Amino acid sequence: MAVDLLLGLQWGDEGKGKIVDVLTSNYNIIARFQGGPNAGHTLVFNGMKHVLHTIPSGIFHKEAVNLVGNGVVIDPVIFKKELDKLSLQKVDYKKSLVISRKAHLILPTHRLLDAASEASKGKAKIGSTLKGIGPTYMDKTGRNGIRVGDLELDNWKEKYRSLANKHESMVSFYNVDLEYDLNELEVEFFEAIKVLKSLKFIDSEEYLHQAQRNGKSILAEGAQGSLLDIDFGTYPFVTSSNTTAAGACTGLGIAPNAIGEVYGIFKAYTTRVGSGPFPTELFDQDGETMGRVGNEFGATTGRSRRCGWLDLVALRYACQVNGVTQLMMMKADVLSGFKSLKVCTSYKYKGEIINHFPYNVEAHNLSPIYTDFEGWVEDLTEMSNKSTLPKSLNTYIDFLEKELQIPIKLVSVGPDRKQTIFR
């Protein structure tokens, strides 16, 4: 059976967690394929807010298997905290959670390296979440990393000590004032390792292969957003993994010809956390309103998100790179009350009008060209049927569908899983 993908099409925070939660009832297996605890997938149901960082967003559904794939990097400390919260909510995660032996581990010293590297950059910071993700992927590609499967070996602590010592010497290289107590960090780390080792480790590529042969339905859950992809994002202000559709193949061991539907998720406007170019960013009252009404604060970092109008050039690019087959528009409710809306439909780039996403999107190279739309005042949060959506919102949606040549199958009108309209 084909594997469906669910991906963010902007700079992250699109609402992937909610949609995975909504769709999970249709799938036997939910699989995370890249990233680490820099993700913050927020789910709201029964009046409660739940934030997941590493664990797949299907964990609250009793019948679904939740798989952490080989492309994910795991911080045992953060992972344990997630498990502790699940325990408080009576979630039997040992029954439904499996971990690839090939997933890499984030060590305490990876976090120290991350902090030292970011501090050394001064004003040129890339906006790292300081979770140690970048250094962990560097060790992975440098063939120095420690994987989950290593925890089953007798000498894994020796491997740990050797790598941690190397990291400490590298921290001193950055020549920054970084205060830390490694012994204290390691106590917490080794306690978390004990919990991690109580879970089921699997050879995930074989597990998924057999699941496909047996007709199991699989949804691959992406983290971060397409514009943060290490290759196709706004480099160097990107994450350290492939967040696009191709990443699902390498992050789970799925063959390209086994990919089915590609669900692309985007906000009705655009946000970004941290540094990096943002062509449609707003610095006025409209931007402030989007941030306030949309509660635009990072689920992982707590940092306020930068807000701007929808960038159709960037969105079209993300759809192309991912081969998106269905679109899902989030946070339409946040735009209620705006008298007029804008959509960036092209760029003025170095004196020319272009419709594609160029190599460099820094503000000094380009300016957005907008198309105006009539806004709507209706409160969408209580709506449950597409027939009740305001005419101007439908006009907005129809325009996007025509421009992207991809159907928008779902519109989110609030954070709760119930506040979801299928079209």
- Is there a catalytic annotation at residue 75? no
b (16+ CB within 10 A) / e for 299-309: bbbeeebbbbb
Alpha helix (H) residue ranges in 179-338: 182-196, 204-213, 245-252, 285-293, 312-322
Question: Tokens representing 16?
Answer: 């992937």
| Integer Rg of the chain from CA | 21
Per the residue annotation, which of 4, 13, 311, 333 is the catalytic one?
13
Choose among 348, 337, 344, 350: nearest CA to 392.
337
Q: How far apart are CA 114 and CA 128, in angstroms?
A: 8
> If you write DSSP's letter for every residue of 55-116 in order, what string do you get?
S-TTTTSTT-EEEE-TTBEE-HHHHHHHHHHHHHTT--HHHHEEEETTPEEPPHHHHHHHHH
Q: How far apart are CA 242 and CA 194, in angstroms?
A: 30
- Is there a catalytic annotation at residue 154? no
Question: Tokens representing 147?
Answer: 């994987």
Per the residue annotation, which of 4, 21, 41, 53 is the catalytic one?
41
E-only strand ranges, 233-339? 259-267, 270-272, 306-308, 310-311, 326-330
Q: How far apart are CA 35 and CA 136, in angstroms?
A: 10
Q: How far apart are CA 228 and CA 231, in angstroms?
A: 8
Question: Tokens representing 121?
Answer: 């950059």
Distance of CA 328 to the CA centre of its chain: 15
Q: How far apart are CA 158 and CA 167, in angstroms?
A: 14
Active site residues: 13, 41
